[in-house]
Copies of this chain bind each other. A is one copy, B any other.
Amino acid sequence: MVVVLAGGVGGARFLSGLVRIVAPAEVTAIVNVGDDVDVSGLRVCPDLDTITYRLAGVVHPSQQWGRDHESFVVSGELRRFGHPDWFTLGDRDLAVHLHRTLRLRQGAPLSRVTDEIRRAFGVEVRLLPATDDPLTTTVTTRDGRTLGFQEYWVRERAAPEVDHVTAVGADDAQPAPGVVEAIEDADVVLFAPSNPVVSLGPILAVEQIRSAVARTRAPVVGVSPIIGGRVVLGMADRLLPSVGAEVSATGVARHLADLLDGWIVDTQDRDAVDTIRGLGIECQATDTMMDDPGIAGALASTCLDVASRVRGAAA
């Protein structure tokens, strides 16, 4: 059993590679919910949906999130009522949010609804939200404003200088059913190349998840989302300084060092391998730019190789 901690686009691409080399039913993804947001009264879970759509083969191919063949009729009409239009919902996407919102209002926990949705899309990978409880990422800017993550990221295009990021509710959040068990029973735990602050951060901010990862006997291997000192996608570069981490493959490894047994860096960062090994973390350089599923598959394979090596060294 392989467990993957994952955010949105990076997590989705990584998982699409992993299922080329591991049976999908053997994979459990524990997914960030800190980005979740209510839009026009609908509950939107961007990371869960991006992963579902990618694994179902219905993700928008260039955008890499949202649905393929998407239309925007409902959003266009909603403008009539003065709804904020900075977070635009596509029609196909909206059907998922509508179903989710209905089921949540009927009292179903997010984990159950998530399972229904991934099955409706024929996704065999088990998807678990980190928690069924309220857990919301906020970004406090240097000029003293506290924004919801989507306000910061989508509405303000990550322009404001960030003072700190908070996983609001994490202290009271319990892991969703199955999360701790999946980590305990895993043969290997992987960190997708997702944003360490706003994707992996909120998952690991749930204390019982962090402690399960810390104590699991399975090797814990991550992939650097930073290549050559630059973020591959997203805006980890804007946020790493807020947690005191350097924007580099080494910086992120240091930030996660207490949890990691292995760390995969891009070939561009091969010079960092020795430094990272010096932190007591097994390290290997490979191609981490997942431009196609073949590369993503090879990357996942490298992760499992490093995990075997760690396991062998421990034995």
Contact = CB atoms under 8 A, between A and B. Distances in A.
Contact of A98 (B40, B82, B102): B40
How many monomers of this protein are in the complex?
2
Interface in A72-96: 73-78, 80-83, 91-92, 94-96
A259 to B, nearest CB: 36
B41 A120 contact: no
Interface in A90-110: 91-92, 94-96, 98-99, 101-102, 105
A contact residues, range: 20 to 34
A113 to B, nearest CB: 10
Nearest to A106: B41
A275 interface: no
A92 B71 contact: no
A96 B121 CA distance: 27
Contact of A74 (B78, B80, B98, B101): B98
Contacts of A95: 73-78, 80-81
B94 A81 contact: no
Contacts of A172: none
A74 B102 contact: no
A298 interface: no
A116 interface: yes
A147 interface: no
A42 interface: yes
A82 to B, nearest CB: 8
Most buried by B among A41, A71, A117: A41
Interface centre among A74, A91, A117, by most chain B C-beta atoms within 10 angstroms, is A74
A40 to B, nearest CB: 6
Contact of A73 (B41, B71, B101, B120): B71
Contacts of A73: 71, 73, 91-92, 95
Most chain B CB inside 10 Å of its own CB: which residue of A76, A77, A98: A98
A96 B77 contact: yes
B74 A116 contact: no
A114 to B, nearest CB: 13
Nearest to A42: B98
A71 B95 CA distance: 14
A117 B83 CA distance: 13
The 7 closest A-B pairs by CB, nearest first: A77-B95, A41-B102, A73-B91, A81-B99, A80-B120, A74-B95, A78-B95
Given A40-B99, A73-B95, A78-B99, 14 more contacts: A40-B98, A41-B98, A41-B105, A71-B71, A73-B73, A74-B98, A77-B95, A81-B95, A81-B99, A81-B116, A81-B120, A82-B120, A83-B99, A91-B91
23 contacts: A40-B102, A71-B73, A73-B91, A73-B92, A73-B95, A74-B91, A74-B95, A77-B91, A77-B92, A77-B94, A77-B96, A78-B95, A78-B98, A78-B99, A80-B95, A80-B121, A81-B95, A81-B99, A81-B116, A81-B117, A81-B120, A82-B120, A83-B99
